[in-house]
Structure 1
Amino acid sequence: MPDALMIVAQLGFCGVGAWLAHIDIREHRLPNRILAPATACLLAACVAAAAFDGSAAALVRAVAGGAILGSAYLALWAASRGGLGGGDVKLAVPIGLVLAWDGWPAFVAGAALAFVVGGAWAIGVLATGRGTRDTHIPFGPCMVLGAVLGLCVT
């Protein structure tokens, strides 16, 4: 049952992530009205999986992952002076939850791949002449795609 819950949660994350990516690309924002319930649902799924499994190890790992990735993005937000949005910080929490729930290798891969995807996107924008070094690209889609890729490669 815990594995089935994880798969359902991951599929739900992919759906909500695609929705958030679409909004971020169009509006350069990640709405709290979507992020808060998505985070709560992921956390509830982690709790339910721990209850069915009889072990809190995955739950503790998931909560730690959410806290670690959220804190890392908060530090990046503070250091970036507007280069990273507050929505990205809030999105890091459910991404950390879902990645760490799957395991630390998925967490590391997904967190790192977000920056690889973001770098590739920025290079594409520059190479095609669709922007300059000062062009802001939405990072939420990069975070979501990085997380999905991290789950796929581990």
Structure 2
Amino acid sequence: MAEPTAPKAAPRGARLLAVLALAPALRLAVLRHAVPPGVGTRTGCDACGAPIGLARPWPALGPTARCGPCGVRVGPPPGAVELALAAAVGALALLGPPATVLVATAWWVGWAIPLVFVDAAVHRLPDRLTWPAAGGTWLLLGLAALAGAGPTPWLRATAAGVALALFFAATTLLLGRRGFGLGDAKLALGVGALLGWYGWAALVAGLLLALLLSGLVGVALLAARRVGWRSHLPFGPFLVLGALAALLLP
């Protein structure tokens, strides 16, 4: 009697399409939270007031990124969220961590993508995105420790997350507006925990890469006269990019 054949794994293209199906939800998160400080989450189109929410994400969140009734662009440019998600999936594929750590990393990435777009748009990192990113990453890394990795990387991840967050918070208290914001400190909790899992060297590399990227972009914008010396660049996108780059380092 012939042995039953094992089911074939889904093609990479099908898996990528399945992941990209999350893009409307991420775009919706950006749209709802990309508002100035002190303003509640956005529930409708700024131009015509057409409702935008979980119950009705289309057509405002479709590929054109425009409101259906009035045609005004809503949220990030077309394809921006999808491209960021595809790049993050590619980075995770290159990283190839164990399944339990992959889940924790994917969780963090899922929150980090909308945080990047929100911070770039309105210079804020809302608690509704930073706390789930940090808390979920920490808990899932704890499950990875219980699944066989042991307590050492998880304890190091905990210490690294707290240390990086305190560093950013200290700059806020000591330097005021010239330092990093408290939103950056909350984002740093998840970034520090994720990088700390891989070691202190990964944490230092991620921070240095983020500072280097922000410096290079700042100089380029100054040279192009797009910003002035007193301008303040959002640091969240650089912190996320620095973390991903550090994870991909040998």
* Equivalent residue runs for 1:39-50 within 5 Å: 39-50=134-145
Higher helix share: 1
Alignment correspondent of 1:124: 220
State the alpha-carbon separation in 1 of the partners of residues 108 and 216 from structure 2: 23
After TM superposition, the structure 1 stretch with the greater mean CA deviation from structure 2, 3-12 or 99-108, is 3-12
Choose which of 119, 140, 144 in structure 1 pairs with 2:240.
144
Alignment correspondent of 1:6: 101
Alignment correspondent of 2:156: 61
State the alpha-carbon separation in 1 of the partners of residues 149 and 100 from structure 2: 14
Read off the aligned partner of 2:195 and give its amino acid letter.
L
State the alpha-carbon separation in 2 of the partners of residues 54 and 125 from structure 1: 44
Listed one character per residue, the Cα deviations across residues 64-99 of structure 1 (whole Å, up to 9, x for unaligned) are 110111111111222221122110111111110000
RMSD: 1.4
How does the TM-score come out when normalised to structure 2? 0.58
State the alpha-carbon separation in 2 of the partners of residues 3 and 108 from structure 1: 23
Unaligned runs of 5+ in 1: none
Read off the aligned partner of 2:229 and give its amino acid letter.
R
2:145 touches 2:154 (CA, 8 Å); kept in 1?
Answer: yes
Alpha-carbon deviation of 1:145? 0.6
Structure 1 or 2, whichever has the larger Rg, is 2
The answer on 1:105 being equivalent to 2:201 is yes
1:14 touches 1:148 (CA, 8 Å); kept in 2?
Answer: no
Greater relative contact order (Cα < 8 A, sep 6+): 1
After the TM superposition, list the runs of 4 or more consecutive aligned residues in structure 1 that deviate by more than 4 angstroms.
none
Unaligned runs of 5+ in 2: 1-96
Alignment correspondent of 1:115: 211
Flag the 1:5–1:54 CA change in 2: closer, same or farther, 3 A: closer
The answer on 1:36 being equivalent to 2:131 is yes
State the alpha-carbon separation in 2 of the partners of residues 6 and 17 from structure 1: 16
How does the TM-score come out when normalised to structure 1? 0.93
State the alpha-carbon separation in 2 of the partners of residues 146 and 72 from structure 1: 16
Among all aligned residue pairs of Structure 1 and Structure 2, give the percentage whose two residues are the same amino acid: 35
